[in-house]
Structure 1
């Protein structure tokens, strides 16, 4: 269900949204399935105006068939692979994060989800000279940690500051603020973030489960609806603006005790790629505390359950030149 809100289409202003809600019309589905003539009388608006709004909403939210050839051409012309900056993770992800898709990192506390997100943001901003949107829902992101990683990349203070300016941070702590932020990015925020720097190539949400998991379970249908809305906006943003969406998720225990990503079956269909991060055995961790294992648990490109070990401290070391994907991601890329 998509909740009606002001500005979704021309003519759908605050007063009309308020009137529709008073008539118990709260979603796009409610509006398109209602008797427009009767509804126009209830809301004291013209039938012609309401019919036009209904037609626009139908066009926006109805699926139209596309040929396989068209999809393939779109893939070749628009998809880029954005390196994470870590060779082991890139190998697991078939070269890196793909634009137009959602990639999920799941793991328990201390598994390194946020550290990977920090490293990806720093690599894209400094090495690739592109912009990153970083949505922090846990309060775990600190400028000092980003600067520490950048200082490992370059000793030039001006270059460090330029890279920091390409990381645009939003701190949000509830799902409604997250939805507002994502809608704002789709409505012009991504273009604004590109002014004065490289274009936005990644949107990171760390963590998506922090603002959704508490709303799920029992008879909380609203929580499921909000989760699907978040997923829908992320998918649309990734595809329409050619960005890579990277989200983090918590883990739960399955029926037989196995570790699995949280947010349930409905969410499991949302990310195109899912990676489970875990600590390595204690004996190894003593000598290499930053060592983690990454297991591919969902992918349309690689065999599932392949595993790579990587060091969280990788992003705090000097690595050299930029990594490239299908298309070169540099300062001239738009």
Structure 2
């Protein structure tokens, strides 16, 4: 989480007095600021001797956050050229899913996989991580929110030979793939912001490891981090959710990274299920893919809910081997 003190050079009203005022209310970072009731904070500022400067500081921080999250205007030709020249398509490794998505995950975009428990969401994430690390010789950044990351499953995807010993070349391949996947355990929304800000800093300052770079960011699952902060009459959880989505899309666009997140389903009208996180989150992903799994089977079905170039409602079947 970015500390408020880091904004001092940008804002003349964010001085030691302002920082002391914020600290007295438990506000030390931008995320702390976002989840506060700003009307209450402004009321407290009114009671201080330097009330006008404090209120101007609050306004300036809001302006910085707004400017950071707002994307610049681009025309259609710029978008087309960007899609053609800068955005590779990364195969997930499940043929049916890749065909359905027009080749796989597109760099610069946020793809969401929606489905109930045991529908195959984590298996798709693990397969994508292993496939990108193996076949693209790329770095994969994997954020695990439910202790579901399985190095054994990755090993199986890379060398699917149960019960047999690996030769030297297979061992070398497996070692390269596993060292290319960086896994981070994240259990709340604030830890998510911490890791994303650190990743963003590293991406801006990193030196290339040969020809490798981070090409895939996975969060399994985003909904387990966001759901606990939603609900009630407060808008703080909603603000944090939109900020997280905006930051993910910003990282994807600026660094040509494919972002893959998973989301669970909740009950909808007439007994049907729908993606969790509500209507506001619905507009965040570029691509939404819904998974289901045949009862007692390894056969899964994927269907497009949203895609920029593929028709909604298209489906494909694929098999997850245990």
Distance 1:16 1:158 in 2: 57
Residue 291 of structure 1: which of 276, 284, 299 is its match? 299
The alpha carbon displacement at 1:294 in A equals 0.7
Per-residue deviation, residues 110-160 of structure 1 (Å, max 9, x unmatched): 101001100000000011111100000011112222223222287521221
Cα gap change, 1:88/1:222 in structure 2, threshold over 3 Å: closer, same or farther? same
Q: Structure 2 regions of 5+ residues with no counterpart?
A: 28-32
Task: Quote the residue 2:310 is aligned against.
Answer: 302
Task: Quote the residue 1:21 is aligned against.
Answer: 22
Residue 209 of structure 2: which of 181, 184, 195 is its match? 195
Residue 245 of structure 1: which of 255, 259, 265 is its match? 259
Find the residue that maps to 2:248 and give its secondary structure: helix
Aligned residues: 298
Alignment of 1:16-165 (within 5 A): 18-19=19-20, 21=22, 26=33, 60-152=68-160, 155=167, 156-165=170-179
RMSD of Structure 2 on Structure 1 (CA) = 3.6
Distance 1:222 1:58 in 2: 15
The alpha carbon displacement at 1:92 in A equals 1.0
Distance 1:130 1:55 in 2: 37
2:142 and 2:182 in contact (8 A); partners too = yes
Find the residue that maps to 1:256 and give its secondary structure: helix
Task: Quote the residue 1:331 is aligned against.
Answer: none
TM-score scaled by structure 1?
Answer: 0.77
Cα gap change, 1:182/1:41 in structure 2, threshold over 3 Å: closer, same or farther? same
Does residue 262 in structure 1 map to residue 276 in structure 2?
yes
Distance 1:228 1:134 in 2: 21
2:223 and 2:262 in contact (8 A); partners too = yes
Q: Structure 1 regions of 5+ residues with no counterpart?
A: 317-334
Find the residue that maps to 2:313 and give its secondary structure: coil
The alpha carbon displacement at 1:75 in A equals 2.2
Cα gap change, 1:300/1:167 in structure 2, threshold over 3 Å: closer, same or farther? same
TM-score scaled by structure 2?
Answer: 0.80
